Amino acid sequence: LAKTTQPISMDSYEGQEVNITCSHNNIATNDYITWYQQFPSQGPRFIIQGYKTKVTNEVASLFIPADRKSSTLSLPRVSLSDTAVYYCLVARAPAGANNLFFGTGTRLTVIP
């Protein structure tokens, strides 16, 4: 089973780059990795997804090493509004109770 593990919390100063890592040692060949952002009392919001190597969009980058046993979400120059909980998800199709694994989340606090 592709259990996912994340650090519980991280602090960062405004303007710094933040890297959050998720471990998924038992990831399967067809699994994809996705990261979500969640603010209090709201539903998670999709940030970025990837399968291997590096993916970049307008808000973040995702680094996945060749063995795919971990992934790192990189947030460039964080601001106070990036304070949230970040979850990694390892999932594959067809979806099912045994093919979908959310991490426990990393609470990022951005300090002025």
Partner 1 sequence: DGGITQSPKYLFRKEGQNVTLSCEQNLNHDAMYWYRQDPGQGLRLIYYSQIVNDFQKGDIAEGYSVSREKKESFPLTVTSAQKNPTAFYLCASSIGQKPNEQYFGPGTRLTVT
Instruction: Tell me the residue type at 46.
Output: F
**Which window, 13-21, 34-42, 53-61, 62-70, contacts partner 1 (CB under 8 A)?**
34-42
Residue 41 binding partner 1, by CB under 8 A: yes
Buried residues in 34-44 as b, exposed as e (16+ CB within 10 A): bbbbeeeeeeb
What are the backbone dihedrals phi and psi of residue 56, each rounded to the nearest 5 degrees, phi first?
-135, 140
Binder among 21, 23, 61, 100 for partner 1 (CB under 8 A): 100
Q: Pattern 55-84, binding to partner 1, x per CB under 8 A?
A: ------------------------------
Residue written as tokens 């970049």? 56
Residue 105 binding partner 1, by CB under 8 A: yes
Least distance in angstroms from the C-beta of 32 to partner 1: 4
The CA distance from 74 to 86, in Å, is: 11
